[in-house]
Structure 1
Amino acid sequence: MIQLPGLTADLIGQQYGLSRSSLYRLFEPYGGVAAHIRKKRLTAATRMLLHPRYSRWRIAEIVYYWHLEPATFNRLFITTYGTTPSQARKQRQDIWALDAMEESQIAWLRSL
């Protein structure tokens, strides 16, 4: 699993040798750097939430691990997948072992 909890705009800029202003200009057409980081964290938290290995972790623990706030995570999750994190986890328990989020799995989540 990719480790992104400490992902920041400064870290991205340093990694790719970009100034802060260049980085923000580069990400502007995609909703900005913060939106990109938030999306990466949402995806990573969702994978962890639905992965059987982390079934004993509370949702809040996963959310805090990825440096998100619970209310923000719930709002983003519902907006993206059309269901709550706890409902998705409950559905997954019997039918889904998640190794990587694929388009078909995202479609399944949205269909709940």
Structure 2
Amino acid sequence: MNKRKPIDYTLMYTALDSLVQTELPEVELYFEIGRAVCARPEKGAAVMAAEYLQANYPGDRGFSPRNLRRMREFYRAYADTPELRALALKLGWTQNVAILESCEGGQERAWYL
């Protein structure tokens, strides 16, 4: 049986609150949420972020655990390549998810972008 360890996510929750309240476009917001989740070393940070966002922003969609894990991977894929990140931020979220999930490496992603 999986048990949650008592971990303090207060700093991550504060960062998520400030991000959601900004007027960032959707894909940029998701990139920044991915950055906030990646800042946490715990395996369940994406799930905890999803639960927090769903509970505190019930009118907003797109905060499922699966989507938060995608945001984390989106951040990891483009954090070190600003030129590819700029191209990815011009696409919609669905297109970015398709590229992330179907491409195996950075060169293939770059070609599709």
Output the TM-score relative to the length of structure 1.
0.32
Q: Which has the larger radius of gyration?
A: 1
Output the TM-score relative to the length of structure 2.
0.32
